[in-house]
Each structure stands twice: as structure tokens, then as C-alpha cells.
Structure 1
Amino acid sequence: MNAKYSKNNNSNPIATIIILACRRTKFIAKAISSVLEQTRTDFELIIADDSNSVEIKKICSGFSDQRLSYYANNECLGVLKNCEKSLSIASGKYVSFLSDDDFIDPEYLAIMVGVMEKYKNIALAFCDNWIVDEDGIRDLEKSDKHAIYWKRNVLLGGELKNPVGALFDGSIIIGTASLYRKSMVNSSMAYKDVGVCADLWAACVYVHFELPIYYVNKRLLSYRVHKDSETNRGDSALPDSERFIYNFILQEGWFQEKKDLIYKRLDDATFRSAKSRLINGQRDEARKIFHTGLRKYRSYRWILGYALSLMPNRMASALLNFVQKKDFYSNVRVP
């Protein structure tokens, strides 16, 4: 990671906020502004650009705040490796990551740092979030539904008493909207194959190694829903990352009490991986995955998926969209 812009002059920040940037330019100025407007001011802000973008550099240079630094990777590292590289230059006692399309409330840092300073055993703290539209407007109904769906509406504030349950309910947000104690971060498991699911992977690692996690029951992050978000890309990046994580967990024997659920999620991620390849015209690759899944899972959708992989692409794509629901966790969550 090479410096492309001036290094900040805040020599002793208590926290480092890292904005992970890659190609997208539409929302990053808002993300940067939300950090620089924090009520707690003893922090540094690092823009970690994994695309070495002239446009992103120009946006950053438009901010005169000396707490801001811009760094660019000469080659794309991927989300987790970009996080690891950024951590190596972070000066703060605490570190928080922010996506380039999200933004935080002014009190985010004051509240989150306050928790970490009070409870010295906590490895990381995370908070709840707002759902906002492409224009950054809060949607209260969707925010409430989101909290209910991921069971944060019943998750008690404070140190998690059942972190494994919270992990598999999806309650834990460890990517954005969380603050790490830097001295307790172990980057040795920053596998590149984790891909875009760095948040899920980090949650699994922290819970497996029984690192204390604290939930701040406040909505301090705004998660922006838009057509260019990672979850809406429509390619195989998301399910491929999930496949790696769930395969790793099963092979290493983590979370044995959730083994059946993990198998179900692996089944679903594998199917979505094949589906996305078929929709995007990678029929030979899709057929191989469908064939393997058919032998392993033997369910109707795998039979249909394999049959569709033998059809012309346009017909297969149209029919396959009726097979799989987008909201896959509703199909695999257990009581």
C-alpha cells in the first residue's frame, strides 16, 4: 500500500477509522464527511483504496482535514487483505472499518470508544444500524424489520451471553458498525478466499476463539441499500465466499452444535453459486457445480438446476429465477 496523499498529523489518535474503497465514487464523500463530523475528535481517518482510483484520490484531496490520509494499493488485494494492510499502518488503540457507501452518526465514535475504555476485556463492540435508501434517507419500517429479522430486537445490550447463537442468527455485525481493540486483532487468518464476506468470517473467528463481544443497542450506522452494493451484484462473489467459509468451518470442526445448519447454508451458497454462473452465461462451470450438488444433496432444485444447465442460456436464466428465493436465510434458519 503506497501513500498517494498527505499523511495526517494526528500523532496520538485513540481510534483509527478505515474506509475501504474500491472503484465506487458516488457515496464515498458522505462516508468521509460522517467520520470527520464525529463529536469525538481524537482519531485518524484512513482511506484504503483497493482500486488505485484517480477519482477517489481527487475526492479525498478535496478535504483539508489533516486527520485524513489516502492510501492506494498498486494491485487489488481483496477486502480482507486490504483490511490487513490498513491495520498495519493504523495508529489508533481502536480500529473501525466503514464501507465506502455507508455512513456513521456523529456520536458513533464517542459511544463505541466509551464502551471499550470502560470494559477492558472486550475485544470488539458492534451496534445496530439504520437502513437508508440510495439518497441516504432513513427507512424506519425497513430498519425495524431488519432488526427483527436478524433478532437484534431481542438482543440485550452488553457483553454477549450466547455469542454462537447470535452469530448464527446473523445478529452480529463485525465488518462495518464495529470497533476492534487493535491489540487483540489477529490477522493471521486473513485468507484471500474469504472475499466479500470478510464480516461473516471475522464474526466466525471472534466467536470461535471466544473473544468477548459487546453489543451497543443503538443505531449508529446507516447501511445504504442501492443497486451497486455487494449484495446486489448478481455474480458469484458472495456465494463463493460463503462456500469457502462454511467449508472451512466444517473441516475444522467449529460450532459442532450448529453443524446441520452450516450444511444447509453451504448447500444454499453452493446452489446460488451455480445459479449465478448459469445466469451470467458460464454454463459449463454451472453444470459442473450442479452435477456435484445433485450427487451430494439430491433435492428437487438440484435436479432442476442441472436440467436447466443443459438448456439454452436465456431459457435457463428465466426459469431459474423462480427456483431460488433471494432471502436465503429464511429457508435455512432453525428454531
Structure 2
Amino acid sequence: MPNNVQLLEPLVSVIIPTYNRPEYLKQAIASAVQQTYQNIEIIVSDNCSPENPQAIVESFQDPRIKFWRQQQNIGMLANQMSAFNMAQGKYLASLHDDDIWNEDFLAKLVPHLEANSGLVLAFCDHYIIDTKSKINQAATEENTRAYKRDQLAQGIYQNFYKIGLVDKSIPTAAACVIRNDFIDWHSIPSEVGGMWDLYLAYLCCISGRGAYYHPERLTRYRNHEQTDTMLSGSRNAQAKIRKAQSEMFCYQIFAEDLRLRQFRSYFQQKYLEAHTTLAIGLLRNKQITAARPYLWQALSQQKFNLRTLVALTISFTPQLLANQFLGVSKNI
């Protein structure tokens, strides 16, 4: 792209937090470098990986890439926020180290933000890929339906509380470009943990600005066993506990926000569901006494819930039988 054309484009900060995924990281960086929209800075923030990825970063020989390595592992969220705070661009986009962008991702989203100063973000749909970067078409279609993007028309959504926080249609961590100066990255509390993307959607929702939806699939989200989503859905007790605590924190804030009062019952229900999830994580961690209060609270404040009732029953079951049941019922 000619330099004079490039200068007319606003700077976009591409944020790539990474930890111990060298081969995937290489693909992620390549997809950022190959963007047809070229006025970008690429911030790679390594969370003190066992194997320093600096050589991988330097192999691209691209002056737009800035590499930062934490001196110790500071946690996923802190590493992510550290990179966000380094961003100098007018716009910002998150690219996980195991995901991939189509080369026209930025070129198709940034112009909508440039054309309308009343927008806080622009987002698109995305593919689901496997460990070998092959598109899983069935999973992709299922994902689009699950987040109701198949029901969204292209264009501007001025009040997007429902699609942002209830339908969760906006993939802020995987397929979204955000107006950088409208978010105070220091204001995101550590308690949001792995739900930082939902909390970011919340900050964008309450900004008073609109969102633009582009229905094309312009990014590729990798589904593999080491994502926190997969871990929290399996027998990894600590991942389940972390996820539940993050959900409880976020949904309590949403439920108490008067601007979101029309969705309060939904947020309260999700808050109580997270109590059960946390309790199940604690049960798997053999912290039975700690688990019960969360189950009692969930049971007393919501209508009959089989998942909660089963978990509470397990908490009174002899440990050997309880362990066997939890081992079989991975999805509760």
C-alpha cells in the first residue's frame, strides 16, 4: 500500500496476548501482518512463557510489531490489560494467540467506525477451526445460531444491551474493532477474570454509542482442549471455579445497573446459575463444606433447578460415591 494512502488511515492497535503456544502464535501474528489494512501496530505481550517466543516475533522482521515479555506470570487478565494499556491506536482489536484473522478483517470493519463517530465498535461473525486450522463448518453454523448472529441484520444497533449482554452476539475478544479512547482500560477490575470480554461488551453497551454488525465471517476462532471455555466445561475444577467466580462478579454488577433493569431477572438467574457452577467446582475440588452455601442460596432464590438439586444431593453423598458420580457427570 502506498505510504500516502497509509497515512490517511487511522492507526489500529492489534493486541496479541500469548502464553506457551509458539506454533499457534506464529499463525496469529502472520494473519495480523498480512492485513490489507496496513496502518497497524501489533503488540505481542508474552506472559512469561517457558519458551521465550521472541525469536518467533523477530522472524517476521516487521517494524510494526512490538514485543513485551512479562518478567513473571502475572495471570491471563493482567497480561491482556497490560497490552491494552500499551495501545496507541485510534482503534483496537484483540487477537488471541490461537486465533486467526482473514486478511480483510480490519479493512471491512474500520471504515464503518470512521464513517460514524457515534459508533463505539464494529463486529462480525467468525468461523470455528480445529487444532490443525481446518474450518469446522457444522460447529461454525452452530456457533452463529447459539449467539443469534444468524438473526442479526447488517447495520447499526444503537441500543445493543440485549445483543451484547443477553444474546452475547458481540465477540469482543475474537471478531471486533473498538474505539480505543472510549474505554478506560484501568477501570476493568481484576475480578472479571476470564469474563473480561463480556465486561468489555458491558462498557461498550453503557457508552451511549452504537455498534455496527458486518455479517461476514472474517476471523477464525480455534476450538481446542486448552481454552478456558473447554477446561471449565470438563473436570478441571480450578477452571470451573475461576469461570463461576468471574460470572458471579459480572452478573451482579449487571443486575444492579439501573440502565439494564429490563434484563435484571435474566442477570439474577445467571448469577444464581454461577453459584451452582462454583459449588460443583468446589465439590470436584473436595471442598464440600465450602460448596453447600452456594447451593443453598441458588436453591432458595430460584425456581426448581435439577442441576442445583443434584449437586446439593452429591454434597451429602459419601465421598467415594460422590467422586464416582462427579466423574461420570462431567456436564453438571
Letter in 1 for 2:267: I
Bigger Cα displacement from structure 2, 189-198 vs 310-319? 310-319
Residue 276 of structure 1: aligned partner? 281
Structure 1 distance, partners of 2:230, 2:324, is 18
Question: Per the alignment, in what secondary structure is the counterpart of residue 123 of structure 1?
Answer: strand
From 183, 193, 199, the counterpart of 2:191: 193
Bigger Cα displacement from structure 2, 284-293 vs 119-128? 284-293
Letter in 2 for 1:266: Y
Structure 2 distance, partners of 1:89, 1:259, is 35
Q: How does 1:58-69 map to 2 (within 5 A)?
A: 58-69=55-66
Letter in 2 for 1:107: D
Structure 1 distance, partners of 2:188, 2:77, is 6
Gaps of 5+ in 2: 1-5, 233-238
TM-score, length-scaled by structure 1? 0.85
Question: Per the alignment, in what secondary structure is the counterpart of residue 44 of structure 2?
Answer: strand
Alpha-carbon spacing, 1:317–1:272, altered in 2? closer, same or farther (3 Å): farther
TM-aligned CA deviation for residue 323 of structure 1: 6.7
Would you say the 8 A contact 2:195–2:243 is kept in 1?
A: yes
Residue 141 of structure 1: aligned partner? 138
Would you say the 8 A contact 1:51–1:72 is kept in 2?
A: yes
Residue 178 of structure 1: aligned partner? 176
TM-score, length-scaled by structure 2? 0.86
From 181, 204, 212, the counterpart of 1:206: 204
Structure 1 distance, partners of 2:78, 2:182, is 18
Letter in 2 for 1:211: R
Q: How does 1:66-215 map to 2 (within 5 A)?
A: 66-167=63-164, 168-215=166-213
Residue 261 of structure 1: aligned partner? 266
Alpha-carbon spacing, 1:32–1:317, altered in 2? closer, same or farther (3 Å): farther
Q: Percent identity?
A: 25
Gaps of 5+ in 1: 1-9, 327-335
TM-aligned CA deviation for residue 130 of structure 1: 0.4
Alpha-carbon spacing, 1:203–1:317, altered in 2? closer, same or farther (3 Å): farther
Alpha-carbon spacing, 1:323–1:270, altered in 2? closer, same or farther (3 Å): farther
TM-aligned CA deviation for residue 161 of structure 1: 4.3
Residue 53 of structure 2: aligned partner? 56
Structure 1 distance, partners of 2:79, 2:269, is 30
Indicate yes or no: 2:243 matched with 1:245: no
Structure 2 distance, partners of 1:209, 1:313, is 49
Alpha-carbon spacing, 1:125–1:208, altered in 2? closer, same or farther (3 Å): same
Structure 1 distance, partners of 2:323, 2:100, is 35
Q: How does 1:311-322 map to 2 (within 5 A)?
A: 311-313=317-319, 315-320=321-326
Structure 1 distance, partners of 2:69, 2:320, is 40
Alpha-carbon spacing, 1:110–1:323, altered in 2? closer, same or farther (3 Å): same
Bigger Cα displacement from structure 2, 45-54 vs 191-200? 45-54
Question: Per the alignment, in what secondary structure is the counterpart of residue 127 of structure 1?
Answer: strand
Would you say the 8 A contact 1:19–1:98 is kept in 2?
A: yes
Structure 2 distance, partners of 1:56, 1:315, is 45
Alpha-carbon spacing, 1:317–1:290, altered in 2? closer, same or farther (3 Å): farther
Question: Per the alignment, in what secondary structure is the counterpart of residue 153 of structure 1?
Answer: helix
Structure 2 distance, partners of 1:56, 1:291, is 47
TM-aligned CA deviation for residue 152 of structure 1: 0.5
TM-aligned CA deviation for residue 90 of structure 1: 1.8
Bigger Cα displacement from structure 2, 218-227 vs 297-306? 297-306
Structure 1 distance, partners of 2:330, 2:206, is 30
Residue 3 of structure 2: aligned partner? none
Question: Per the alignment, in what secondary structure is the counterpart of residue 193 of structure 1?
Answer: helix
Q: Deviations over 1:15-38 (max 9, x none)?
A: 110101133334111111111111
Alpha-carbon spacing, 1:111–1:298, altered in 2? closer, same or farther (3 Å): closer
TM-aligned CA deviation for residue 95 of structure 1: 1.0
Structure 2 distance, partners of 1:257, 1:163, is 13
TM-aligned CA deviation for residue 214 of structure 1: 1.2
Would you say the 8 A contact 1:22–1:50 is kept in 2?
A: yes
Count of residues in Structure 1 that have an aligned counterpart in Structure 2: 317
Residue 236 of structure 2: aligned partner? none
Indicate yes or no: 2:303 matched with 1:303: no
Would you say the 8 A contact 2:20–2:50 is kept in 1?
A: yes
Structure 2 distance, partners of 1:313, 1:16, is 51
Q: Deviations over 1:239-263 (max 9, x none)?
A: 2211110012223434111111111
Would you say the 8 A contact 1:279–1:313 is kept in 2?
A: no
Question: Per the alignment, in what secondary structure is the counterpart of residue 63 of structure 2?
Answer: coil
Would you say the 8 A contact 1:123–1:211 is kept in 2?
A: yes
Indicate yes or no: 2:30 matched with 1:24: no
Alpha-carbon spacing, 1:301–1:54, altered in 2? closer, same or farther (3 Å): closer
Bigger Cα displacement from structure 2, 192-201 vs 17-26? 17-26
Bigger Cα displacement from structure 2, 78-87 vs 190-199? 78-87
Would you say the 8 A contact 2:269–2:302 is kept in 1?
A: no
Question: What's the Cα RMSD here?
Answer: 2.5
Alpha-carbon spacing, 1:270–1:224, altered in 2? closer, same or farther (3 Å): same
